């Protein structure tokens, strides 16, 4: 089974993120979910991002890197929105990465030092008119990654919701989130099969 390191979004470690991680565990995967906000959960994304700005984006990403350092190298990194930053950084820079799952965000590959690493599969998921994903350049970064990486997929879902995969938030979209969940589990099964052959 795959071993997965999950990074939460800008609301913090919500029940929805915990529930998503639990779904992966029920499928037989080992899942780690560090709290990058040190116990804080915010009712609005604006409040959460205010905390991130006060703490510093670098500090939040460094907390994610520190969480990985105590775990084996052969991880799949999964990030929700803000959590994509540490997930993508680790997938691109930490030797041994088995894959990356980038939900509702994607940074330009150059942000973390060049080309996407060979042999590291990646899936990116987002809504096609989400003002954050589609409107702030993440979808363009995702398309560029898919064009240059050898094993990369971009899945776009109809709608304008951000954080649509978190069932504890008003932005949740059950149909799209279920599609994401199935594709993520298929991805992890592929990683598991590749690592056992």
Angstrom distance (rounded) from CA 31 to CA 98: 14
All residues at 6 or more sequence positions from 93 whose CB lies less than 8 Å from its CB, including other chains? 112, 113
Q: What was the pLDDT predicted at 197?
A: 47
Q: What was the pLDDT predicted at 11?
A: 97
All residues at 6 or more sequence positions from 11 whose CB lies less than 8 Å from its CB, including other chains? 41, 42, 43, 44, 45, 48, 163, 166, 169
57-69 and 45-55 helices, crossing angle to 10°: 80
Helix (H, G, I), strand (E, B) or coil at 141: helix
Give the whole-number percent of the chain exceeding pLDDT 70. 97
Q: How many domains, the chain?
A: 1
Instruction: Please report which helix (H) or strand (E) contains residue 152, including its range.
Output: strand 152-157
Cβ–Cβ < 8 Å for 138, 132: yes
Interval 117-170: pLDDT, tens: 999 999 999 999 999 999 999 999 999 999 999 899 999 999 999 999 999 999
Q: What was the pLDDT predicted at 113?
A: 82
What is the pLDDT confidence band of residue 194, given thresholds at 50, 70 and 90? low
Cβ atoms within 10 Å of 122's Cβ, excluding its own: 28
Cβ–Cβ < 8 Å for 9, 81: yes
Interval 62-73: pLDDT, tens: 999 999 999 999
Q: Which domain holds residue 115?
A: 3-196
User: Looking at residue 144, which CATH number applies to its domain?
Assistant: 3.40.50.1820
């Amino acid at each position: 089974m795959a071993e997965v390191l999950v990074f939460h979004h800008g609301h913090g470690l919500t029940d929805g993120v915990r529930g998503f991680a639990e779904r992966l565990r029920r499928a037989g995967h080992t899942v780690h979910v560090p709290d990058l906000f040190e116990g804080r959960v915010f009712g609005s994304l604006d409040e959460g991002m205010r905390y991130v700005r006060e703490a510093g984006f670098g500090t939040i990403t460094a907390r994610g890197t520190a969480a990985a350092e105590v775990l084996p190298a052969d991880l799949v990194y999964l990030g929700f929105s803000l959590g994509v930053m540490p997930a993508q950084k680790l997938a691109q820079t930490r030797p041994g990465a088995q894959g990356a799952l980038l939900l509702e965000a994607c940074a330009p590959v150059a942000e973390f030092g060049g080309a996407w690493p060979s042999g590291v599969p990646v899936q990116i998921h987002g809504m096609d008119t989400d003002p954050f994903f589609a409107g702030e350049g993440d979808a363009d970064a995702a398309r560029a990654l898919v064009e240059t990486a050898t094993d990369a997929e971009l899945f776009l879902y109809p709608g304008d919701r951000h954080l649509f995969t978190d069932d504890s938030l008003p932005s949740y979209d059950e149909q799209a989130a279920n599609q994401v969940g199935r594709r993520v589990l298929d991805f992890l099964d592929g990683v598991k099969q590749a690592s056992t052959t």
